[in-house]
A and B are shown apart, each in its own frame.
Chain A
């Protein structure tokens, strides 16, 4: 047994039935289950099971997010780590409180929500807003529905939506020019970003004014924007990982990207002044990040495989329309929430088609 095992063993009696810290049992159990595999024998056939479990499933998503996170660290400095810590601490508190009250186990799903949330925020946002947003997202986006697996909306997006509506100024003005060179300056500026790095506009905002950022900068991520979404290269690496592991639904990703490109090409041809060229549109803003990491959240998307195509199409189309024809410069957040709303309907349509086939066979 390794040291962690010994430690857990030593403290176990405190959390056991009759122990002084019994009410905090879910916390102990979460730690125990994190470090050591859960052993429970199958009581029904099949008596052997596949090694895939939720922990592995969720940790693969975290691994896929790592390239984007590292890029964020590189471009936006150590403050990113602070934001991540705040997000995990505040959101984790809500998660733990609910687990304690419900006397249920702490779910792995939060690890992803807490990781994604800072990645979809502007780098200069006050830290307390990160906390408020993640608390709102986890509470209203997930826990009130009954926890992971039962929520209708992506919790991270609910939190971000709340911040955007509650603090529109902070959310649309906290942009930062990616740092280059002087790391010490960024360290000294903690817990804020260096004052001279603050800027007013992202590539999509600039495009509305008529200046298009070079595509290479967009691809590498050397632009202002939300922390994790700027580097398309890193997003693509994550996407490739998720698709080869078959953790993310290829249908959702393809559906959204293809519909986004197709509709973008057609509308750009019709109204070139309002709609950006499809290449620029695809590489700028958070569309790809959203399509790869947030639209593919299985819980809030459609349940059936075939419906995921249409779910993707709704997200791709809605993002483009919101970006091009509304007051918002970025549309992917609303588009995914809209997709979340439509998901049960899409499922119902697919199920009805299946029912018709079953009726013939039964």
Chain B
């Protein structure tokens, strides 16, 4: 596939190994009631016993209902004490068993509607991204994709890698790939994106999918944020002329396909995730298989969740810091451990820099291929300064935007100009903030402006609706008074 300029892959130490550990099932699982911006309403009462896979909570979305299935059997405690969040359901585990919920169907005999229903109940539906909604696809069957793209690549340091998932659950992934065509339109195509087509894993995938003419394997560069759905969608549009503008594309990662495979063949709902635990602060970077609701502290080695380190949920660029109480969610696939800065470095800017790597080739680490950014911490690594228009953000932006220009517009509050100059296209990958030598908070500035734009648009729509209503009422009254006069 064709990718434009931009993107970047920093050399960060602490890459998770291919080894997948299984985290022990704790006695207490915490299921947060907010997922993907949706707030779920509990479907269970306090101290009720639930079976494995029974819905803990529901949310209405896009013409249907999606569930949060219980990751294990147990007794429920509803925790709404935390006023800031939507609350959570605590599950005191009584049984470790995993058992199928429904009677499975072969791919040939499954209908699209039954599959949508099953995936919504199994908590898998929100893992699919639709180019029409920009989030999970509609559940009422109003959209059928012409394309489904299954992405194996995760360039952001460090997300669970497709190849590792394939190694762990190869069978489920192939099963999932057999079911996916049921959701497609007639003659729809499934694209698989991999990094190297001659890699042994890629060859095995090719063997497994041989004979399925609707599966096309493509290679993509390993450059963050290649895994972002909107970047993939744009690349597909540019490289495949058959993919029209009005065509619908669904994108999902390998873990979602694996979950679909498990759900459709064995009737098992989404109950565990493979989490990549990595980063310069991680003492044992690896992949961990964990039941949903497991505390994030249980994925880490003892002593990693301390004051000297910051644990991010997600990767380096988009991860948010979490505290000890946080638990593995339904869409988590990464935990990134960053050390906090220890002290101030003497004349750091004048050192050759074998121990740091940068977007600009201006450190000595450039001379060796094995160098990694060993000094990466949560520090800004420089003073905040005004923009000097060095243009690094423009070079890094994967969407071909001009972040330095947007920054100038937003600095003087010209939000309309920023909108025209592509602000709505920003995907919030965070590369501009990452590379900025002036340490400007560009990502934050842009996302706040996007929220403001959305609010302004909603307000304008509401005002217009109110105005319309007023006008109608006026007209009605006028007619009425004219009637009366007659």
Say whether A associates with B.
yes
Closest to A109 in B: B388
- Cβ of B198 within 8 Å of any chain A Cβ, yes or no, is no
Q: How far is the CB of B284 from chain A (nearest CB, A)?
A: 19
**Does A53 contact B433, Cβ atoms closer than 8 Å?**
no
- Cβ of B114 within 8 Å of any chain A Cβ, yes or no, is no
- Residues in A neighbouring B395, C-beta threshold 8 A: 305
- Cβ of B348 within 8 Å of any chain A Cβ, yes or no, is yes
**Does B389 contact A42, Cβ atoms closer than 8 Å?**
no
User: What is the size category of the interface that chain A forms with chain B?
Assistant: 35 or more
Q: How far is the CB of B11 from chain A (nearest CB, A)?
A: 11
- Residues in A neighbouring B380, C-beta threshold 8 A: 38, 40-42, 49
Contacts A305-B391, A355-B420; A149 near B386 (Cβ below 8 A) = yes
Q: How far is the CB of A197 from chain B (nearest CB, A)?
A: 36
- Cβ of B174 within 8 Å of any chain A Cβ, yes or no, is no
- Residues in B neighbouring A304, C-beta threshold 8 A: 391, 394, 402, 404-405
- Residues in A neighbouring B312, C-beta threshold 8 A: 47
Which residues of A308-356 are within 8 A (CB) of B?
308, 347, 351, 354-355
Which residues of A18-38 are within 8 A (CB) of B?
33, 35-38
Segment touching B, from A125-133, A210-218, A295-303: A295-303
**Does A54 contact B363, Cβ atoms closer than 8 Å?**
no
Cα–Cα, bound, A153→B10 (Å): 35
Cα–Cα, bound, A42→B441 (Å): 9
- Cβ of A105 within 8 Å of any chain B Cβ, yes or no, is yes
**Does A51 contact B375, Cβ atoms closer than 8 Å?**
yes
- Cβ of B390 within 8 Å of any chain A Cβ, yes or no, is yes
User: What is the size category of the interface that chain B forms with chain A?
Assistant: 35 or more
Q: How far is the CB of A110 from chain B (nearest CB, A)?
A: 13
**Does B439 contact A53, Cβ atoms closer than 8 Å?**
yes
Closest to B442 in A: A44
- Cβ of A68 within 8 Å of any chain B Cβ, yes or no, is no
**Does A47 contact B394, Cβ atoms closer than 8 Å?**
no
Point out which of A38, A47, A148 has the most chain B C-beta atoms below 10 A from its C-beta. Answer: A47
Which residues of B431-473 are within 8 A (CB) of A?
433-439, 441, 443-444
From the candidates B361, B389, B443, name the one contacting A46 in the complex (CB within 8 A).
Answer: B443
From the candidates B350, B359, B400, B424, name the one contacting A362 in the complex (CB within 8 A).
Answer: B424
- Cβ of B26 within 8 Å of any chain A Cβ, yes or no, is no
Which residues of A116-165 are within 8 A (CB) of B?
147-150
Q: How far is the CB of B165 from chain A (nearest CB, A)?
A: 25
Q: How far is the CB of B29 from chain A (nearest CB, A)?
A: 27
**Does B422 contact A38, Cβ atoms closer than 8 Å?**
no
**Does A51 contact B441, Cβ atoms closer than 8 Å?**
no
- Cβ of B356 within 8 Å of any chain A Cβ, yes or no, is yes
Cα–Cα, bound, A308→B316 (Å): 32
Q: How far is the CB of A192 from chain B (nearest CB, A)?
A: 34
- Cβ of A249 within 8 Å of any chain B Cβ, yes or no, is yes
> Per-position contact with A for B349-380: 1 when CB-CB < 8 Å, else 0?
11001001111111100000000010111111
**Does B425 contact A358, Cβ atoms closer than 8 Å?**
yes
Closest to A251 in B: B391
**Does B434 contact A44, Cβ atoms closer than 8 Å?**
no
- Cβ of B341 within 8 Å of any chain A Cβ, yes or no, is yes
From the candidates B12, B358, B361, B379, name the one contacting A41 in the complex (CB within 8 A).
Answer: B379
**Does A48 contact B338, Cβ atoms closer than 8 Å?**
yes
Point out which of B320, B373, B377 has the most chain A C-beta atoms below 10 A from its C-beta. Answer: B377
Q: How far is the CB of A203 from chain B (nearest CB, A)?
A: 34
- Cβ of A59 within 8 Å of any chain B Cβ, yes or no, is yes
**Does B345 contact A36, Cβ atoms closer than 8 Å?**
yes
- Cβ of A107 within 8 Å of any chain B Cβ, yes or no, is yes
Cα–Cα, bound, A35→B424 (Å): 41
**Does A35 contact B376, Cβ atoms closer than 8 Å?**
no
**Does B434 contact A49, Cβ atoms closer than 8 Å?**
yes
**Does A56 contact B349, Cβ atoms closer than 8 Å?**
yes
- Residues in B neighbouring A299, C-beta threshold 8 A: 388-389
- Residues in A neighbouring B345, C-beta threshold 8 A: 36-37
Beyond A45-B320, A245-B361, A247-B362, 6 extra complex contacts between A and B, CB < 8 Å: A37-B381, A39-B344, A40-B380, A45-B319, A148-B385, A299-B389
What are 29 A-B contacts with C-beta separation under 8 Å?
A35-B347, A36-B348, A38-B382, A39-B379, A41-B340, A41-B380, A44-B441, A44-B443, A45-B433, A45-B444, A46-B317, A46-B319, A48-B12, A48-B377, A48-B378, A49-B381, A50-B381, A50-B436, A50-B437, A51-B358, A53-B383, A54-B388, A55-B349, A55-B382, A56-B349, A57-B437, A105-B383, A245-B361, A249-B391
Going nearest first, the 5 A-B pairs with the smallest beta carbon separation are A53-B382, A149-B386, A358-B422, A36-B344, A37-B348
